[in-house]
Structure 1
């Protein structure tokens, strides 16, 4: 059941920071109630909803004009602010109703040309529908319960049973001008209704206040949930989307590699492997055991706009495929892509051509015994597909139990999938250099590790941050905006490196680049060191890197698309310092490991490189240590840190830049890049 979250005190906090004009006060309440709706993803899954408010403003000439503030493209309701509700002059929109037809392109152009702020985002594709309803506040949602209701075979009878004559029923029409006109006509036939249900689509409420419309969103959704519970043996559900992820899943790198191969066949050799986001729960496990799973997989999507993120059907991997081998999984992916190509060919003939086929590989997989996976170009896209897939499981389960799940037909599905306005949502910007690449950084809580993670993340990579310290990890993840995946593990333990790799693959589906950076410097004269301490230094500074590399290579081989290993080697590997033998010796071994791995893995497309850094404020070089070293040399701290040929301090970000440069150097392997500002004694031959 949905909870009504309206709070007058919180609402007043929004109006208090807005100007005193009636328009801005109304817009502030629109922002507040939009956030309430967006805070429950069950209501508006990944852009599956929009809100609006009608106000009066003065234009540059001082004339009063009617303005519609409606959700703009690229904004999420849970975090929306006033700029996310661009204002559009209403009178030109209202005049459009006199037209018999209007192309999507002309509709978008007219909406943009009537924006109050020309730099504002595109108004929602359902702007005209919001405009043509007379109410001040309008809310459009795609709640799970309403999707189950709207896709029933006898949906109209069910809607009448629940709402009587208080709900207007609109047949399925693609969003845009035609839907807006039809919905307005149906509303005007009975203006006493308090909501509209769009068959196979969603729910509209409205009111003269933000609270009235929001109250109806919650009340109506709960009434539908109660009705469904009465027909499904009392089944209730709560929004658990995105909360349940298994720790590991062995099948994911195999699946990722197979789908990656299909994507390369479609888009070219440089195409990144997809990211895979696996979800599991008792509900999902029960669903995957259904005897009618194959038939359900071909039914379609819960809401038409889902198709651009999930495609029209999932890849179904039954246990017999999983128990066979990687060839069987690759064959299943090939069968899926062949079926998609046939679907595109048939539909292209129906519409007379003019469309370019999208990537034919799956965006969702139903994996028996493992869970439901979202598949996308990066973690955000995979998560969106997984979220929608989770919701679809609930919609299908509720719908089938209450009378049947029967969404839009194949022709309508194709028209939505290849609708230019929907495609524009997924093609807003050029992919970043490391978009879709999964990068693991060990020692991620330290200065170099964190700087390296940030450098890769800024270029679009999805980050797994590994560290021994949970506290350091928490701080590092917070610094990165909460987007990195934390892996707290002791890399010197027997299973630590393999566990770190498995958990990363379980979160993202696999692994592309490892930055093996973890380490610590033990001081002491080599002949005086305790042997156990010496061995512990080797465990961390060499053997953990070696074990991590082997675990990563296993994943690289499973994916079949190469990979990268990047090592933090250190100046001590080539220019030993007095009292640092316990650190320099394992680092020298790691230096050799770079060359040996590069020699042995090059033919598999795995590149292996390292960075030889020196005198960085990280780990060994604490503030106290720097002061002592500077005093011992009779120089200032600044002069000590800039004691190189360039007379400039080398920072963690410079080391990070070197790792990124090596990762981008497509034809470079077995190379160690020096980042020390110039130290002839440590120069490599």
Structure 2
């Protein structure tokens, strides 16, 4: 592993963070160096600290420990992510015989210089009990390959000799901090501590010394693995010659891991697919169901991916349907195994715990790759990252011996750690969290407003529009990791590609808003036939193409789905010279009902929104001026020409789409959004 220290960059950090002091500036710099390497730190893992002096708001000066705070990513940390904790009470704590995790957190928070700071790391006391100015901690995969062995102590001594202390496994917290400090006291000449089944600490008088020692130790571990490793896996011989693609099976898996909450209701997950030559070597091993089910490489990973993956059978490209049934059964067996794991380990003491959802966060498909799952795209990506690093770590451990992680009962303690359980009770989930919505015409007025509202309500949105650049711009503006795709809804291949993009990004689709359309004018009796056919292509057949793709995905997921159509008041109350627009819209209204009729049996809800006089691409400023002039009213009067005498906006239409999407027992409905138009009211 390359040493990334750079004198010029370190000096720049001092200049950038000079307001925080040189100690904290350099601490921030080397924390980022460590945090940006996934083989060292993954999503909240690892921590660093520096002992220095600061002045509080009253002008009193204290010796403090600036240590990584909860919620900060080491790769992007800023000085506020290293809250200052008074050293004196931390050091006094070492004399205690015991200290619960809750009391430890309270002690650390009560000792903060700034009470508004994030919670200091759970390993704050370990940093405090070591005398060095700078302390670094990572979960290096190379180190884990050494400590995830049955004879880890002997192997660490062989690789590092007396330069590293060895700390037997103890869960993070007060007891670990005391044990690590005791190991250091036995040999104060060590350059670091290796924590069994956990990771590595290095320390020094300067930021560079602590960092250099970290990289040097990791390089020694990597060199040992390279020099002594053997091919870790024997390849299996029964893989299909033509395996299915991730695109073919992701919706099946996404549906299989959706947690049923009640009739027709689910907690849905997002998919993140990973494959590479290294991953394929791992998942194609003949003994996969042995080494992949032993556990995770370090206990903190249980928080992200539980203790083991679900292993699925290989999937031939020409037999996805049969494979899908086996995949669902495999997930069902996984959930049963997880519940049994919880019940067995929960019964070991009297602590009150709430079981987590039993769904897997990793799925292995031999011959293809690994799928990570999460309730959001971000957490799915974290699962994917963890899965990729975990598989490489197991490979290294198997290469030099036999992967030997902590037993299930120890992993359970951290997965159901009281501090993590407390977070669950305060965690807020938005109504559409875990769901994926696709909006056609997504860059237009109604489409963009709808996409924004759905993203705000928790959905990941695929903004599909003829103008791909505009779609991408809308997706970026609404956030929530939404994506924009170019889509010509009159082209079947383009529509298929938009849905494929949704599957590639998120694993599937749950809500489809078929919104794209355009108004065509002309007296119906003299209308050019080509105009009417063009209008039907966009305002009817395009909706059919979108709906067909939606149902295709819904069938694979087997968790129902929502199909919504923008039909316009013209479908109910035709206007003179707008027959070319109204006739296909009327057909689309009945199309929505046909989908409700035929696919309600698989949980698909299909309804329409009937809107009127919305400022958008269909009703632009010039048309508003023309229509108001023709009726002899002002533009304001024209736009508010309804029973409520109020203009209806794209945001109101978006709200109607959202209401229908969340109306769990509504289908074949038409929701009117026009401020009140008796002529367009349904009987």
Q: What's the TM-score, normalizing by structure 1?
A: 0.89
2:280 maps to 1:285: yes
CA contact (8 A) 2:144 2:297 kept: yes
Identify the residue that residue 127 of structure 1 maps to in structure 2.
Answer: 124
Moved more, 165-174 or 210-219: 210-219
- 1:425 Cα deviation (Å)? 4.8
Distance 1:613 1:406, change over 3 A: same
Deviations 1:466-497 (CA, angstroms, capped at 9, x unpaired): 22332122212221237113343333223333
In the TM superposition, what is the alpha-carbon distance from 1:140 to its structure 2 partner? 1.7
1:75-106 Cα shifts (integer Å, max 9, x gaps)? 22233333332222221111110012111121
Cα gap change, 1:534 to 1:247, in 2 (>3 Å)? farther
Note the 1:44-193 alignment, pairs <5 A: 44-193=41-190
The separation in 2 between residues aligned to 1:489 and 1:417, in whole angstroms, is: 43
Q: What is the CA deviation profile of residues 169-201 of structure 1, one whole-angstrom value per residue up to 9, with x for unaligned ones?
A: 222111000111111122233333333222211
Moved more, 104-113 or 503-512: 503-512
Distance change in 2, residues 1:253/1:419 (3 Å): same
Aligned partner of 1:239 in structure 2 is none
Say which SS state the counterpart of residue 406 (structure 1) adopts.
coil
**Which residue of 430, 435, 442 maps to 1:444?**
442
SS at structure 2 position matched to 1:188: helix
- Are the aligned partners of 1:200 and 1:407 in contact in 2 as well (CA < 8 Å)? yes
Return the alpha-carbon distance in structure 1 between the equivalents of residues 112 and 66 of structure 2: 10
Residue aligned with 1:534, SS: helix
Change (3 A) 1:434 1:168: same
Gaps of 5+ in 1: 236-245
Preserved CA contact (<8 Å) 1:249 1:370: no
Distance in 2 separating the partners of 1:69 and 1:272: 39
> Where does structure 2 lack aligned partners over 5 or more consecutive residues?
233-243
Distance in 2, matches of 1:110 and 1:385, equals: 32
The C-alpha deviation readout for 1:101-156, integer Å capped at 9, x for no partner, is 11112111211222233333222111111211222332222233232233244444
Q: 1:4: which partner in 2?
A: 4
* C-alpha contact 2:462 2:475 (8 A) present in aligned 1: no
1:579 deviates by 4.3
Q: Paired residue for 1:602?
A: 600
Q: Equivalent residues in 2 for 1:161-560 (5 A)?
A: 161-232=158-229, 248-260=246-258, 263-264=259-260, 270-319=265-314, 324-351=322-349, 354-425=352-423, 428-481=426-479, 483-526=481-524, 530-560=528-558
Whole-angstrom distance in 2 between the partners of 1:64 and 1:448 = 58
Query: Tell me, what secondary structure is at the counterpart of 1:319?
Result: coil
2:476–2:483 Cα contact (<8 Å) kept: no
TM-score with structure 2 length normalisation? Answer: 0.89
Spell out, residue by residue over 1:234-270, the C-alpha distance to the aligned partner (whole angstroms, 9 max, x if none).
99xxxxxxxxxx984333333333332xx327x8874
Alpha-carbon spacing, 1:89–1:379, altered in 2? closer, same or farther (3 Å): same
Bigger mean CA deviation after superposition, 308-317 or 665-674? 665-674
Between the aligned partners of 2:651 and 2:462, the Cα distance in structure 1 is 18
Q: Contact 1:497/1:547 (CA < 8 Å) preserved in 2?
A: yes
Deviations 1:611-651 (A, max 9, x none): 22233332223455545556666766555544544444433
Contact 1:248/1:507 (8 A) holds in 2:
no
The Cα of 1:277 is off from its aligned counterpart by 2.1
Partner SS, residue 188 of structure 2: coil
Q: Which moved more, 1:545-554 or 1:637-646?
A: 637-646
Is the alpha carbon distance of 1:400 and 1:670 closer, same or farther for their aligned partners in structure 2, counting shifts above 3 Å? same
Bigger shift: residues 503-512 or 10-19: 10-19
Over residues 44-86 of structure 1, what are the superposed CA-to-partner deviations in whole Å (9 max), with x where a residue is unaligned? 1111112222221234554322222222222222333333322
Over aligned residues, Cα RMSD in angstroms? 3.0
Cα pair 2:472 2:485 within 8 Å, conserved: no
Q: Is the 8 A contact 1:570 1:612 kept in 2?
A: yes
State the partner residue of 1:243.
none
Distance 2:144 2:265 in 1: 39
